[in-house]
Amino acid sequence: MNRSIFWVGLMVIPTVSAMPPNPFQQHISPCEKLTEQLAAWVLQGVISSPTASTALMLSSQGIGQRIKVDKELFPDVRIENVGVGYVVARVNPACKPSSYRWEIKGKTYAMDAGISSGVDSASLLPGR
């Protein structure tokens, strides 16, 4: 009896794995998924010194993180530049655009009142 269940299982598994994907579910490319993940991050501010800059960002889970140049945010995403009011990440070269930029719109300094309404993320075209 156990052998017959084993053989039935072996016959069913390849059939299930060969089924086409759900036609009603929207197909999302890996690059689109990566862009969605990056858009979920929020730049809170940047602390600059003469030697280096550190960004304060909220992850997609709402966890605050310090971000520096050359930090790997997650696979295929490495921080390329941290400047006054912006962060640029280099993404997988197969994706277009090949970089992603977060900016703080509005005032530059955290003590300025208008900063809370101006946090935004935007794509950066290659070569800019």
Which domains, ranges and CATH numbers included, belong to the chain?
Answer: 30-103 (2.30.30.830)
Q: Could you tell me the pTM of the whole model? A: 0.61
Could you give the residue ranges of the DSSP H alpha helices within 56-106? Answer: none
Task: Give the DSSP letter of residue 21.
Answer: P
The SS3 call for residue 108 is: coil
The SS3 call for residue 92 is: coil
126 bridge partner residues: none
Q: What is the mean pLDDT of residues 99-126?
A: 57
Task: Categorize the per-residue pLDDT at 88 as very low, low, confident or very high, splitting at 50, 70 and 90.
Answer: very high
Q: What is the mean pLDDT of residues 83-89?
A: 92
Q: Can you read off the two tokens belonging to residue 15?
A: 């059939």
Q: What is the mean pLDDT of residues 68-92?
A: 91
- Per-residue pLDDT at 24: 73
C-alpha 10 chain-centroid distance? 39
Q: Can you tell me the distance from the alpha carbon of 57 to that of 34, in angstroms, rounded to the nearest whole number?
A: 17
